[in-house]
Amino acid sequence: MDKQEKRKRLAKKIQLNLAMTVGEIFDPIDEDTTRPKKMAYFDRIFKTFTQGGEGAVNRKKTQKLIGTYCLFVPEEIIYAAGGQPVRLCAGAYESVEVGEEFLPDSACPMVKSEVGFTTLPVLSFYQQCDLVAIPASCDWKAKMAEIIHDYVPVVMLDMPKVKEGEASRAFWLSEVKRFTKEVEKVTGMRVTRSRLRGAIQMIQKAQVQFRRFHEIRKAEPPVIHGRDALEVLNAYFYDHVESWTAAMATLNDELEERVNNRESVAKPMATRLLITGSPMVFPNWKIPTVIEELGGVMVADEFCTSNRYLHDKVAVDEGLLSDMLHAIADRYLLPSCCPIFSTTIDRRDRLLQLIKDYRAEGVIYHILKGCHPYDVETRIIEKLLQDNGVPMLKIETDYSPQDVEQLRTRIEAFMETLKGQRHKEKS
């Protein structure tokens, strides 16, 4: 058997294993009658992973596909240039072993999974990208272009690490402008003032539904599970922004009805948890699944793949092209809570706000093994929460399903102590 044949069979194996994982996740979900009906739209996207992700990305045949990583690549620009963005951050255990051929053991599973999908045809949209934009965010991302450039055309975006200061702003703006040129080259369409304004407004409409969704989630009793919240934002990775916005609007309508009917997805007095740390991407839902199997609710998260995703708005949607580019660059840099930056101030504020708004009783701090940015912030966040009387459970894990039972034991114990505290406060 030659090398090529081996790769082909390896791809087939990973595909099958991924399909089995998708089945394992959606089997119980499909049988759950308490779940909002409108989730089906989002489920469909992930179920395409059983067939190589064909149909996951919502784009016209003629549209160029621009892959993105992290939360810094301006989608407004991609849409304005006539392209379709697809966020490639990956959460599949199956492709980790493929990525390991290119990366050291100590790399985080996210980057391993991403490199795996890029180098082996398992999910077709990884290979179909006409350009992949990688911000030099964490160290793994900084090296990624070099690792995958034989497989897909890539462009690196340099990131300032100290975001305060005019020099950083100016530098980042120049990177955004360079990126604009690169995208224009690929799509063959210029980013004009009116197209950019249109794109900004299109995304703002999505942000309206996003904010509405997160308002609804504050309701008590909770009307949607935290895992499903991860799912709808994860679907934004692949969907066209307008289709996503429409689907979100109908989901929000349904959820509002549930609020009115006091239709809960959890038992009364269910433990309310907030989760933060390294991002979770489908199918890496092991922690939210365990929480919810134990009867708890993940009332909010602070992930770059979910609650942080569409939070920050572009401040200007009028004016000159250069004003808009400036505003776009600022949106992605200044309010970012991403731990690659030198200070945790924004993230600290945001966390405390979320804890308050969603009345979280405890925080789970999730670290993917090898994810240094989040690891390094643990102490600071732990102290912050301690000072504010919020218990925290730190979980370091990867994508392997092997530790699920251990995690269950730890999370269960954590939830029990939170319940105990509740009684203490009452008496």
Cite the beta strand spans of 158-278 per DSSP E: 272-277
Given another protein, ligand SF4, none, residue 31, with its beta carbon under 5 to 8 Å by kind, binds another protein
Nearer to another protein, 45 or 367 (CB): 45
Residues 44-63 that bind another protein (CB under 8 A): 50
Q: Is 264 helix (H, G, I), strand (E, B) or coil?
A: coil
**At its nearest, how many Å lie between ligand SF4 and the CB of residue 271?**
26
Q: Is 407 in the site for another protein (CB under 8 A)?
A: no
Tokens 């489908």 sit on residue: 282
3-state secondary structure 316-365: CCCCCHHHHHHHHHHHHHCCCCCCCCCCCHHHHHHHHHHHHHCCCCEEEE
Stretch that binds another protein, among 17-25, 217-225, 336-344, 390-398 (CB under 8 A): 17-25
- Give every strand in the sheet of 362-368, ordered side by side: 297-302, 272-277, 362-368, 392-397
Stretch that binds ligand SF4, among 5-13, 20-28, 132-140, 198-206 (CB under 6 A): 132-140
**Exposure of 104 by Cβ count < 10 A (0-12 exposed, 13-18 middle, 19+ buried)?**
exposed
Residue 163 in contact with residue 397, Cβ under 8 Å?
A: no
Q: Is 422 in the site for another protein (CB under 8 A)?
A: no
**At its nearest, how many Å lie between ligand SF4 and the CB of residue 337?**
8
**At its nearest, how many Å lie between another protein and the CB of residue 11?**
10
Stretch that binds ligand SF4, among 117-125, 137-145, 149-157, 212-220 (CB under 6 A): 137-145
Stretch that binds ligand SF4, among 229-237, 260-268, 364-372, 407-415 (CB under 6 A): 364-372
Given ligand SF4, another protein, none, residue 27, with its beta carbon under 5 to 8 Å by kind, binds another protein
For 259, the token pair is 């609020």
Residue 113 in contact with residue 99, Cβ under 8 Å?
A: yes
Nearer to ligand SF4, 82 or 370 (CB): 370
The conformational region for residue 298 under phi > 0 = left, psi -120 to 50 = alpha, else beta, is: beta
Stretch that binds ligand SF4, among 10-18, 105-113, 218-226, 354-362 (CB under 6 A): 105-113
Residues 124-163 that bind another protein (CB under 8 A): none
Choose which of 22, 56, 90, 138 interacts with ligand SF4 (CB under 6 A): 138
User: CB within 8 A of 269, min separation 6: which ones?
Assistant: none
Q: Is 160 helix (H, G, I), strand (E, B) or coil?
A: coil
Residues 19-38 that bind another protein (CB under 8 A): 19-21, 23-24, 27, 31
User: CB within 8 A of 415, min separation 6: which ones?
Assistant: 271, 273, 291, 294, 296, 362
Choose which of 265, 371, 390, 392 interacts with ligand SF4 (CB under 6 A): 371
User: CB within 8 A of 304, min separation 6: which ones?
Assistant: 70, 71, 279, 337, 338
The footprint of another protein (CB under 8 A) covers 1, 6, 9-10, 12-13, 16, 19-21, 23-24, 27, 31, 50
